[in-house]
Amino acid sequence: MGFWTDIFTVETWSQAGQREFRVSGFPPPTPGRGGYFTSTFAAVEVGDVLACYVKAPAQRWVGMLRVESPMFLDYDDALWGTGSDGRALFPARFETSPLIALPVEQGLPVQATLGVLRCMDPRSYSGMFRRSLKRMPAEDGAKLMELLSEPREASPVRLPRKRPKRIPPPAIERPADELALDSERRGRATPHTELVWKLITLGKALGCDVWVAPDERGKSFDGHDFAGHVLKAFPPVGVDPASAEVIRSIDVLWIRGRTIVAAFEVEATTSIYSGLLRMSDLVALQPNTSIDLFIVAPDERRSKVYGEITRPTFESFDPPLRDRCRYLSASNVDAALERTRPPLNRYLQPGVVREFSEEARFEDEAA
């Protein structure tokens, strides 16, 4: 009996469940490099087992399906929808029977299998999930089936943040003095944009390229358009696509060469919890990351940062998130900028910003 990976999204796993997991589908055989070859499908035999994994944002093993037929092509059954040509997606199919099929919320987190399964090397396991039908060692398949059979509490899947599109209000005629007041308000800098601009300035002074999240790119501060001072395209930094999607949405990144050296979530007025979720997603995707992580917020929000980062959710990390993500106050951003002014800036490295940050502590420790 052989074991093979079968990669799903949250949506496609749910769609497979509509057929009680009696069929699993893949892209059709292709002759080109990187596709699914006829020989790949031919290697899967009746009686083999498909180890099912739901990729980001879930990142969980969810089931084991026994193969009940050789591969067949079905372009008519649109279980997973249709392509631009009107034909069914994932037409290369196997009939299957479920040995284990769990709701995504009760799946086994991938982190729990790192170093436990031989094929899950903590340094390179993401390669297992770039495509389906990668063979697993028999002992790993048997161990995974054992782990999936164990009871565990359900835990919700955090969907990635999607910032709503701004819909302009309908045009209405308004008095000239009201329009002038509106224009003044629109031109006024916000604490958020001020901190983002200072982090851009500080990063460049320390010899870094700077990336800002797509929804920050069109902003400006004090006459400086962010787009003219940051990278135009997200650079290759040696991470898998799921990690890159999380990383590029973080407010500010400092980059040297192909390495991200620091990441900043600016929470001047918005929910600190949402920024910490993005940092925790990054740590979950890249557990061995050496990126310095910071929550940047005004001094008066220090206790709020402490309260959020010491939540049980983040304390459950090993090590806790507060050991990986530090607090950088607005006043210390200014102090760091002062350090980079000539002649004080000689020989400074990006890591100097850690000197100006602090480890968030529990309320009683901070008192």
Lowest mean pLDDT among 92-96, 127-131, 260-264: 127-131
Quote the CA–CA distance of 313 and 113 in Å, as a whole number. 20
Question: Is 93 or 315 the better-scoring residue by pLDDT?
Answer: 93
Q: What is the pLDDT of residue 346?
A: 57
The stretch 248-256 carries a mean pLDDT of 91
The stretch 217-225 carries a mean pLDDT of 89
At which residue do the structure tokens 């003095």 appear? 177
Question: Is 151 or 30 the better-scoring residue by pLDDT?
Answer: 151
* Annotated domain spans of the chain: 3-149, 187-366
Q: In this model, does residue 46 exceed pLDDT 60?
A: yes
**The two structure tokens encoding residue 167:** 């819909």
The percent of residues above 70 in pLDDT, for the chain, comes to 87
Q: What is the pLDDT of residue 169?
A: 57
The answer, as to whether pTM is greater than 0.85, is no
Q: What is the pLDDT of residue 253?
A: 94
Tell which residue, 5, 21, 32, 298, has the closest CA to residue 137: 5
CATH code for residues 3-149: 3.10.590.10
Q: In this model, does residue 344 exceed pLDDT 60?
A: no
Q: What is the pLDDT of residue 1?
A: 87
Residue pair 13/52 in contact (Cβ under 8 Å)? The answer is yes
Tell which residue, 337, 300, 336, has the closest CA to residue 191: 300
Q: What is the pLDDT of residue 168?
A: 59
Quote the CA–CA distance of 119 and 142 in Å, as a whole number. 13
Q: What is the pLDDT of residue 124?
A: 75
- Residue 245's φ and ψ, nearest 5 degrees, are -65, -40
Q: In this model, does residue 165 exceed pLDDT 60?
A: no
Quote the CA–CA distance of 51 and 6 in Å, as a whole number. 6
Residue 13 CB coordination number (10 Å): 25
Q: In this model, does residue 365 exceed pLDDT 60?
A: no
Q: In this model, does residue 160 exceed pLDDT 80?
A: no
Lowest mean pLDDT among 31-40, 68-77, 308-317, 320-329: 31-40
Tell which residue, 270, 334, 339, 340, has the closest CA to residue 305: 270
Q: What are 255-269's pLDDT values in tens digits? A: 988 889 999 999 988
Q: Beta partners for 52?
A: 6, 63
Interior/surface letters 271-299, b for 16+ CB within 10 angstroms, e for the rest: ebeebbbbbbbbbbbbeebebbbbbbbbe
Q: What is the pLDDT of residue 367?
A: 38
The three-state secondary structure class of 55 is coil
Confidence of residue 9 (pLDDT cuts 50, 70, 90): very high
